[in-house]
Chain A
Amino acid sequence: MPADFNWAIGGEAGDGIDSTGKIFAQALSRAGRHVFTSKDFASRIRGGYTAYKVRTAVDPVQSVVDRLDVLIALTPRTIEENLDELHEGSVIIYDGERTTMEDVEIPEGMIGLEVPLKRLAEEAGGAIMRNVVALGAACEVADFPIENLDSALEKRFGSKGQQLVDNNKEAARKGQDYVDEEYDHEFDYDLETTDEDYVLLNGDEAIGMGAIAAGCKFYAGYPITPATDVMEYLTGRIENFGGHVVQAEDELSAINLALGAARAGARSMTATSGPGIDLMTETFGLVATSETPLVICDVMRSGPSTGMPTKQEQGDLNMLLYGGHGEVPRFVLAPTTISECFWKTVEAFNLAEKYQTPVYLTADLSLAVTEQTFSPEEFDMDEVEIDRGKVVDDDTIEEWQNEKGQFQPHAITDDGVSPRAFPGTGEGAHMTTGLEHDELGRRTEDTDLRIEQVDKRNRKVETAKEQEDWSPREFGDADSDNLVVSWGSNEGAMVEAIALLEEEDVDVRFLSIPYMFPRFDLTEAFEDAEEVVVVECNATGQFADVIEHDTLTRVKRVNKYNGVRFKADELAEDIKQTLEA
């Protein structure tokens, strides 16, 4: 019996795939099982193939694998799309009475479970519940106590009335009973439950939650996949904490709204995806030159142009590191897990205010839209620390005034960080501009002042390099000659790949890099290693290029750019081959 269980529901967009998958994932999480979800979705609202996959185990799971044990197929295409992952003994649940599924052929060696989903749902109170019937059937196959499903159904439909909840529970039981009565097959699964309490959330939600935890009060954005969830999360929640969300007319407006709020002293953020970052780049330089603290979140999807909006890629790194005309300091953080999405968001706000710079926070699509279980302690709000940096008030402002009593928002300092006076602070009136300026914030073309201000701004990065911890996350065998480096969502797959490699007697040291700029100096790690492999989801190896530049050493590369995230077993194989090559 495999240690983990892989389940999916697939059909057409509009079939309720997402909510059904989520109910199942929640039922598992509430039963004290670890869950990792992934989605195959197309950029359309109705029609087109879409699937929601759930991997679950009693031990933590943090990636997807090439295997499906139970598949709920609402369309024949669902079976075709997943043929590679189905194996001997996989169970396919389908509604043989549905016209499109009448003649479907179950591949050799697999078990087709024909369940009249629609008919049973109608008996329970409405055809719309046919997916829930399927969930009940899946519970029976997986030997998973259906009470856990009840609890997820209550969470999902509770606000809409007890009748609806009861009908859904009834629908689930009809599915369960049907399988129990009509099939006397013994299935190999036994999804045990535990007493653990887990929370189940995705990266976008973790970013939104991190923002509120960090005291973010203002968010402006323009909808774009896969960043919209951040805005949707904040809407309706941030108000409870004294904040507000504005849906702007475009990304140019969004970042400027956020900039305005930040100038007014609010912790402020915007989130978008690559095409939106393109537009925001215009204002990015202004944010940096005016030394305004701002968190700009880029949830990467597959580019260029509109590319593949619903697919995975880590292709924006160069833009985040170098985008914009002229030279401006910035920080680029890239969380590597969903819980890190939370913590790095908190950190992003602190860095932004301590150093008065824009901070790019980048998650890739795989981190943003997949859900994972965590202990709630992973999000311990008592651990959140807020650092607002050098803010002056009515009493301390004098220290930063020139001999004429004028406040100097761009005062030259050793650490590169100038004082900040929120509007409303007495005697603090000052201007700032995207033009090069003097200490008062006024335009200048004086050659010496230009150099002073450029150096001052860049000095902030040097200060931050010294004062902050830019360490990578380390896994595997610290003494191994094989070094693997990656960023973003690849960490989960890589951590599981390490275990798989061990089984084949391949040891690796793995560094997962959460800070793209400033970066941890990898030179020493490279000196200790014989082979270095950089893993990333893009075609050209943008991070590998950067690392080669930093360390003056050639690296090997594992790149994936078909729009799908790395799977643990596949990645283990790729690493092995690359090391051997």
Chain B
Amino acid sequence: MSSEIRFTDFKSDKQPTWCPGCGDFGTMNGMMKALANTGNDPDNTFVVAGIGCSGKIGTYMHSYALHGVHGRALPVGAGVKLANPDLEVMVAGGDGDGYSIGAGHFVHAVRRNVDMTYVVMDNRIYGLTKGQASPTSREDFETSTTPEGPQQPPVNPMALALASGATFIAQSFSTDAQRHAEIVQKAIEHDGFGFVNVFSPCVTFNDVDTYDYFRDSLVDLAEEDHDPTDYDAAKDAILDADKEFQGVVWQNEESVPYGEKHGVTEDMSQVDEGAPEGAMDLVREFY
């Protein structure tokens, strides 16, 4: 553990091109703080980013990083972690990236339970493509492509995660810096797939799910005596349509991450100079 690491060490020298006031600034700062607090440094950290305004995060952070194709960051993250379990792997993307084009991967990443952290910057809109409805947009939210609103209920990411067998589910608010960093830190520390849905408002295209809206409506689970290890309580909170909350809603303390379960615990980057020892036995099998 290198105590001299500060969260700013995770900052790249590239100036973010996010709109001034975008929630993604806070989301990213919290992630960097959480990484530093958990004793990581840029050389052992791998950040995989999706596509969208949110996905630009990999550029503004300093670490090993891959900015992939739309919706497919989760399998990349799992591949990195399984190939080198010594790395701290964080995957980040938007609600469109994660719950629309990437929804299939989300379900399976959750059940695969690879020991990594997934941060979704949920602004309930498509930011980068300039304001279309996202899977978390409200039913009546009017956009350029849904003039009457999507007329479909939003997905409930946490319900989706819970139903898929998630071992850690949390929600945070990008601007509540201290709390947000703390929640991400818990996700990092969790043994398994740590999922955090972050309310990260889009100040340019979403005038409904604003900072004010979240500030007024957010309930902190920690202040409600919520027990995150109580599955039924988690289920109730997650399915409560009238409640916006932050905090760790569900944590399975019995979680055994994929790597441990499958005995994938060694760094795979090293290779022998020739065929590995015992390779000739592979041929003998065919006698």
Q: Quick check: is A532 within 8 A (CB to CB) of the other chain?
A: no
Chain B CB within 10 Å, residue with most, of A199, A215, A243, A268: A215
Q: Per-residue CB proximity of B59-98 to A under 8 Å, as 1/0?
A: 1001111111100111111111111101100000000000
* Contacting pair B69 A257 (CB below 8 A): no
- Closest Cβ neighbor of B44 among chain A residues: A424
> Given contacts A264-B84, A265-B83, A430-B65, is CB(A253)–CB(B108) below 8 Å?
yes
* Contacting pair A246 B82 (CB below 8 A): yes
Which parts of A403-421 form the interface with B (CB within 8 Å)? 404
Q: Per-residue CB proximity of A404-447 to B under 8 Å, as 1/0?
A: 10000000000000000011111111111111000000110000
Partner of B283, one of A199, A266, A427: A199
Q: Quick check: is A501 within 8 A (CB to CB) of the other chain?
A: no
Note all chain B residues with C-beta closer than 8 A to A515. none
* Contacting pair B274 A382 (CB below 8 A): yes
Number of A-B contacts (CB under 8 A): 220
* Contacting pair B274 A253 (CB below 8 A): no
Chain B CB within 10 Å, residue with most, of A199, A253, A382: A253
- Complex interface: stretch among A99-107, A157-165, A233-241, A299-307: A233-241
Partner of A256, one of B58, B64, B79: B79
> Given contacts A30-B287, A212-B282, A253-B72, is CB(A264)–CB(B80) below 8 Å?
yes
* Contacting pair A423 B80 (CB below 8 A): yes
Note all chain B residues with C-beta closer than 8 A to A220. 75, 79
* Contacting pair B272 A386 (CB below 8 A): yes
* Contacting pair B80 A260 (CB below 8 A): yes
Closest CB-CB distance, B106 to chain A, in whole Å? 10
Q: Quick check: is B280 within 8 A (CB to CB) of the other chain?
A: yes
Chain A CB within 10 Å, residue with most, of B12, B42, B43, B273: B43
* Contacting pair A266 B83 (CB below 8 A): yes
Partner of B75, one of A201, A256, A268, A434: A256
Q: Per-residue CB proximity of A67-98 to B under 8 Å, as 1/0?
A: 00000000000000000000000000000000
Q: Per-residue CB proximity of A211-254 to B under 8 Å, as 1/0?
A: 01111011010000000000000000101111110101110111
* Contacting pair A264 B58 (CB below 8 A): no
Note all chain A residues with C-beta closer than 8 A to B283. 199, 209, 376, 379, 381
Q: Per-residue CB proximity of A379-417 to B under 8 Å, as 1/0?
A: 101101110100000000000000010000000000000
- Closest Cβ neighbor of B71 among chain A residues: A252
Closest CB-CB distance, A343 to chain B, in whole Å? 12
Partner of B287, one of A199, A214, A249: A199
Q: Quick check: is A282 within 8 A (CB to CB) of the other chain?
A: yes
Which parts of B151-187 form the interface with A (CB within 8 Å)? none
Q: Quick check: is B133 within 8 A (CB to CB) of the other chain?
A: no
Note all chain A residues with C-beta closer than 8 A to B81. 260, 264
- Closest Cβ neighbor of B77 among chain A residues: A260
Q: Quick check: is A261 within 8 A (CB to CB) of the other chain?
A: yes
Q: Quick check: is A286 within 8 A (CB to CB) of the other chain?
A: yes
Note all chain B residues with C-beta closer than 8 A to A218. 79, 82-83, 268
User: Given contacts A253-B72, A433-B59, could you give 9 more A-B pairs where the C-beta distance is less than 8 Å?
Assistant: A212-B276, A217-B83, A252-B105, A256-B74, A258-B79, A264-B83, A283-B72, A381-B282, A422-B269
Q: Which residues of A contact B (CB under 8 A)?
A: 29-30, 197-201, 205, 209, 212-215, 217-218, 220, 237, 239-244, 246, 248-250, 252-254, 256-268, 282-283, 286, 290, 376, 379, 381-382, 384-386, 388, 404, 422-435, 442-443
Query: What are 18 A-B interface contacts by the 8 Å CB criterion?
Result: A197-B287, A199-B284, A213-B282, A215-B276, A253-B105, A256-B73, A260-B78, A264-B79, A265-B268, A267-B268, A282-B72, A283-B69, A423-B84, A428-B64, A429-B43, A429-B64, A432-B66, A443-B67
